[in-house]
Amino acid sequence: MNIHHWTGADRRFRVFASPASWIEGASVAQLRLLAGRRGFLSAAAMADLHPGHKGPVGCAIETEGVIHPDLVGTDIGCGMALFALDIEQRQLHIDKAFKALHGLHEAVDAGDRAHQAAIAPDYAPGMGTVGGGNHFVELQVLDDRADEAACDAHGLRRGALFLLVHTGSRSLGPEVLERHGVGERGLDLQSPEGIAYLADHDRAVAFAAANRKLLAETAASLVRGNARLITDQPHNFVEPRPGGRVLHRKGAAPADRGLSPLPGSRGAQSHLLLPEAGPGEALASLPHGAGRKRDRAGMSDRAKDGDRPPRANPLGNRIICADRRMAAEEAPDAYKNIARVLADVEEAGLARSIARFRPIVTFKTAEARGR
């Protein structure tokens, strides 16, 4: 595979994407700027690389002895969790499911919310909520098994229903960054400040995982099923490594923690990846999705045109999104081709797809309604 070296002879930077993949120049510029960070060692970017607020999204950054909280950002612990339901598509009444899922946020039990939020009780109101941006809860059906043995080992049946949940630590993450943010200077790993950040960071990561679990269990109950966790992988987090090294992942899923979802952004199929022994330069990381092709500002202009009819979803997926601007910003054509991203992953030997899922209903946000 042709792995791009965007900085020429500087082999500290790797982008695991083929020439067929489109990588925005602004994201490459942000990647190069990481060399100026204190303690910087190397960076690995994936085919879903795109510009972010404080740095590129879709990459892993390794430093020596220094934590950079701003590279992880505000949504600490944000990630993807896949849950299997104990019902199949043939048992689903799609119109009833679509109607029921409109009430997802309201259906969250107050007792369950308080229990799951016990790790950070001051932030309990955000527990069991999806949030904005590209977050979602998606009802899917497994329609192709590329690796029958691997699917059998994890109980992944063709025709069965699944929930893919993408959300994070809600208001807890921004508060942690605000409290510990020091700009581009970073925090020494072994300093009291670094240790304090990691403690709060770990709390936010746990909060985010609990949030995904509560949302999945609530959504499952609305379609009269039960949820079983297949995998939960954060993609915004810091991980201390042996020898005083620190691995920052910003929009990059870990490749050393088992199965990893690769979502296709509402208008495309999603995949479940089985990591492989890829090159060390990849920093044990994988793409976390398709990655943005068009920025939100450009996409939101569509929301201003009241006469523009909504485009039909290419897969017939039903979208629950009461926010017109969000619907425009997160339209399927705002994202890259997931098939191209997957091809780059497999050609680089990072992982392979064992199963493919088709979206049926995607929940983003709905108007509040009385019970």
User: What is the average per-residue pLDDT within 85-106?
Assistant: 96
Summarize the confidence of residues 302-313 as an average pLDDT.
57
Q: What is the mean pLDDT of residues 30-51?
A: 94
Predicted pLDDT at 181? 80
Is residue 261 within 8 A of residue 319, CB to CB? The reply is no
Q: What percent of the chain has pLDDT over 90?
A: 76
User: Given pLDDT bands bounded at 50, 70 and 90, which one contains residue 370?
Assistant: very low
Question: Which pLDDT band, with edges at 50, 70 and 90, does 311 fall under?
Answer: low
Lowest mean pLDDT among 137-146, 204-213, 296-305, 335-344: 296-305
Tell me what the mean pLDDT of segment 28-36 comes to. 92
Q: Specify the residue for token string 């896949």.
A: 82
Q: ∠324-205-183 over CA atoms, to 5°? A: 80
Whether the per-residue pLDDT at 72 is higher than 70: the answer is yes
Provide mean pLDDT across the span 286-306: 75
| Cβ neighbours for 205, distance < 8 A, ≥ 6 positions apart | 76, 77, 169, 234, 237
| Mean pLDDT score, 201-205 | 98
315-331 per-position pLDDT tens digit: 889 999 998 888 888 78
Does residue 252 surpass a pLDDT of 90? yes
Mean pLDDT of 155-160: 97
Q: Determine if residue 270 is labeled as part of a ligand binding site.
A: yes
* pLDDT value at residue 310: 55
Q: Is 291 annotated as a binding residue?
A: yes
Q: pLDDT tens-digit profile of 163-199?
A: 999 999 999 999 999 999 888 999 999 999 999 999 9
* CATH class of residue range 13-365: alpha beta
353 versus 19: the higher-pLDDT residue is: 353
Q: How many other C-beta atoms are found inside a 10 Å radius of the C-beta of residue 111?
A: 8
- Surface-to-core class of residue 157, CB atoms within 10 Å of its CB (0-12 exposed, 13-18 middle, 19+ buried): middle
Q: Is 96 annotated as a binding residue?
A: no
> Which strand (E) or helix (H) includes residue 148?
helix 148-153
Confidence of residue 332 (pLDDT cuts 50, 70, 90): confident
Mean confidence (pLDDT) of the chain: 91
Residues annotated as catalytic (active site), given as ranges: 288
What number is the average pLDDT over the span 133-162?
96
Cβ(218)–Cβ(154) below 8 Å:
no
Report, as an integer, the average pLDDT of 346-366. 95
Higher pLDDT, 48 or 2: 48
Cα dihedral across residues 162, 137, 256, 287: positive or negative: positive
Instruction: Please give the average per-residue pLDDT across 298-323, as a whole number.
Output: 72
What pLDDT does residue 325 have?
Answer: 86
- Does 5 carry a binding-site annotation? no
124 marked among binding-site residues = no
Looking at residue 5, what is its pLDDT? Answer: 41
